[in-house]
Structure 1
Amino acid sequence: MTSYPVPDASGFVKLDAMENPFALPPDLAAKLGEHLAGVALNRYPAPRPDALIDKIKRTMGVPPDCDVLLGNGSDEIISMITVACAKPGAKVLAPEPGFVMYAMSAKFAHVGFVGVPLRADFTLDADAMLAAIAEHEPAVIWLAYPNNPTGTLFDDGAIERIIAAASKSLVVIDEAYQPFAQHSWMPRAGEFDNVVVMRTVSKLGLAGIRLGYLAGRPTWLNEFDKVRPPYNINVLTQAAATFLLDHVDVLDAQAAQLRVERGKLAAEVAALPGAQVFDSAGNFLLVRVPDASAVFETLLSARVLIKNVSKMHPLLANCVRLTVGAPDENARLVAALKLVLN
């Protein structure tokens, strides 16, 4: 194995990690600084910060019959779920190509990973998923909604078929990019006895504080809490999130602007020779180009950092992933793409 690659982005237009490019407004940032100054750094954090959890429930529309479990980013929640369900012969299942941490966490926990290929257009192959569920009886099924790196928002009817067939499985609906999809399974999180919904505040504009959360029936979350590392959410993250959730309208406005920029960027890139842009419900675009390596290297020389995903899965041949940035960043991206695609 290799460690998770994070390239040095110093001096680059950073469009490789689906981050919100906008900073907090200066007055709000100043108030946040004053709030954080009062944090007791000499004390361990609350293992279960009730005030923050209650605020997440209210702000994010968590159903009243559901509880919330916090993680150090959704990456830690993925790890906790995998470890909690690990036993000899256990397997987890996910569509591919998908988020790499589903398979990596399975490997760390010595759990089998079953990948089910998407269709060529990156839609969910529900029949193949149902066949794999019947054959492997996975402990966990991961469904990213929308999917990374394709940006696909899987069909709700197909997801319902999977939930119904997964009588021996937990279905985790990963809504990391929900601010850009504007569709959610959160209102239905308590409707099923085998479904939980996972989110993060990273894509909303708070990637630096590393906070993910899982919503679902308490019977599930109580089990996952048993493998949660003690004090896993630090005091600065707790304080920052508690404060900023009172100003989530600022972050929602930034997400709305990025949705507009996504449409503009998709149109500009699609107009370039040889570029095929796939529909995206995230804050990124998957683009097939004649030569992904040449595109990546040309952009790198132009000090624009993107993600070359062409080797991740055969369905992603010659594909690159472009994060939607601020207007000036997108302009530099398109200018650099013209150098290689023309």
Structure 2
Amino acid sequence: MYIKTSGLIKLLKPYNIRPRIRSIGRYMDMMELNNGCLFSRYLSASDYTITERKIRKFFRLNDYYYITMGNGSDEIIGLLITIYKKIASFYPSFVMYERLSFALGKRFYHIALNKNFEVDLGRTCRTIEKKCIDLFFIAYPNNPTCNAFNRIVMLKLILQYPNTLFVFDEAYYPFSKKSFIDLIEKVNNVCILRTLSKIGFASLRFGYLFSSRCLHTFIQLVKLPYNVSKQTLMIVNNIFGRIGIDLKEYDKERNRLASFFKKRLFIFINGCCNFFFIKIRKRIVDYLMEKKIYIKETVCQKFYRISIGNKEENRYLMDMINEKTNI
């Protein structure tokens, strides 16, 4: 039984220690005054509802799309794994699918991509059927290979295996603009995972999942209460109320780097993330690291991730590669 408490005066207030911590107390008092946020109170359902409406409005979605919010995408991945038994993903892909599956005592299966880092449909179907996979994570675009898998192949999997939930992790959606979100209204085995981490808000730790009402209800049974703070929701409301992502400079710099890599005869995937998946010699990587250019290793031998920076950063990267290769 639930008792509605909104609008009531709570006589038994929690003991307020803030006046005894003067500098912090003054800062928090100011925050409460400016933002109407009571630090001494738990969140109410209306706090989450406001944020849900902001997100739906931003993406122009109707009320059929239920939203689960989490402390980063990782928490939501963990919640989904808690509900299901046998989990799979492609390889290579985002490492947290496997790591959280093992941490939660679930069986996890890799399905290797082909030599071109595309989906092997036959191998995927055999694994789903043989291992009775009921939860399948698909990074879309894939991380670290930065390519978006063939949409027709994805649709075949979704339609052929209605008892498997396909989670499309669209962390890089702001850059790719490719999505399966339209399928949520058409089928029952698709949900969409997104985050704010890739557009400059990584430390905010905010992830969100679009799903049907049925899946949303199951997630609420295992989700911890108050998993996203009031302060985070306030910032997220402002982000979705004002955000405008201009990718003109990003597109220009991506094309400039791609042209440079082609001229240097590097093997790379010009995908749709904010980085390149590129095959490059170890001595060049070591030299770039010495020059304070961070190159991220991947599980694929001799392949690395190189982020797309701003104009000055990319110019410096190209100059250093030219310097090392004596071109």
Larger RCO (CA within 8 A; separation ≥ 6)? 1
Q: Which residue of 2 aligns with 1:269?
A: 261
- The structural deviation recorded for 1:165 is 2.3
- CA–CA distance in structure 2, aligned partners of residues 115 and 196 of structure 1: 20
The one-letter amino acid of 1:247's match is R
Q: Name which of 115, 119, 131 aligns with 2:126.
A: 131
Q: Which SS does the other structure have where 1:141 is aligned?
A: strand
| Pair 1:120–1:246, CA change in 2 (3 A) | same
- CA–CA distance in structure 2, aligned partners of residues 96 and 41 of structure 1: 44
| Pair 1:256–1:102, CA change in 2 (3 A) | farther
Q: Which SS does the other structure have where 2:174 is aligned?
A: helix
1:243 matches 2:238: yes
- The structural deviation recorded for 1:51 is 0.4
Contact 1:63 1:190 in 2 (8 A): no
Q: Which residue of 2 aligns with 1:53?
A: 52
| Pair 1:272–1:207, CA change in 2 (3 A) | same
Q: Which residue of 2 aligns with 1:10?
A: none
- CA–CA distance in structure 1, aligned partners of residues 236 and 153 of structure 2: 34
| Pair 1:42–1:331, CA change in 2 (3 A) | farther
- CA–CA distance in structure 1, aligned partners of residues 32 and 126 of structure 2: 52
Matched-pair identity in %: 25
- The structural deviation recorded for 1:297 is 2.1
Larger radius of gyration: 2
Contact 1:143 1:173 in 2 (8 A): yes
- The structural deviation recorded for 1:44 is 3.0
* TM-score, normalising length: structure 1: 0.81
* TM-score, normalising length: structure 2: 0.85
Deviations 1:180-214, CA, capped at 9 Å, x for gaps: 11111112222111111111111133222111110
Q: Name which of 180, 188, 195 aligns with 1:185.
A: 180
Q: Which residue of 1 aligns with 2:317?
A: 333
The one-letter amino acid of 2:289's match is L
- CA–CA distance in structure 1, aligned partners of residues 214 and 34 of structure 2: 37
Q: Which residue of 1 aligns with 2:3?
A: none
- The structural deviation recorded for 1:35 is 10
Q: Which SS does the other structure have where 2:166 is aligned?
A: strand
- The structural deviation recorded for 1:145 is 1.0
Stretches of structure 1 lacking an aligned partner (at least 5 in a row): 1-32
Contact 2:32 2:38 in 1 (8 A): no
Q: Which residue of 2 aligns with 1:83?
A: 82
1:280 matches 2:271: yes
- CA–CA distance in structure 1, aligned partners of residues 188 and 109 of structure 2: 23
1:1-342 counterparts in 2 under 5 A?
Answer: 37-38=34-35, 39-46=37-44, 49-85=48-84, 90-249=85-244, 252-253=245-246, 255-272=247-264, 275-291=266-282, 294-309=283-298, 312=299, 316-342=300-326
Q: Which SS does the other structure have where 1:189 is aligned?
A: helix
- The structural deviation recorded for 1:167 is 2.7
The one-letter amino acid of 2:292's match is R
- The structural deviation recorded for 1:288 is 0.5
The one-letter amino acid of 2:276's match is L
- CA–CA distance in structure 1, aligned partners of residues 123 and 277 of structure 2: 23
- CA–CA distance in structure 2, aligned partners of residues 324 and 154 of structure 1: 21
| Pair 1:296–1:40, CA change in 2 (3 A) | farther
- The structural deviation recorded for 1:161 is 1.0
Contact 1:61 1:187 in 2 (8 A): no
| Pair 1:333–1:179, CA change in 2 (3 A) | same
Contact 1:61 1:186 in 2 (8 A): no
- CA–CA distance in structure 2, aligned partners of residues 333 and 222 of structure 1: 48
- The structural deviation recorded for 1:100 is 0.4
- The structural deviation recorded for 1:148 is 0.4
Aligned Cα RMSD in Å? Answer: 2.0
Contact 1:259 1:283 in 2 (8 A): no
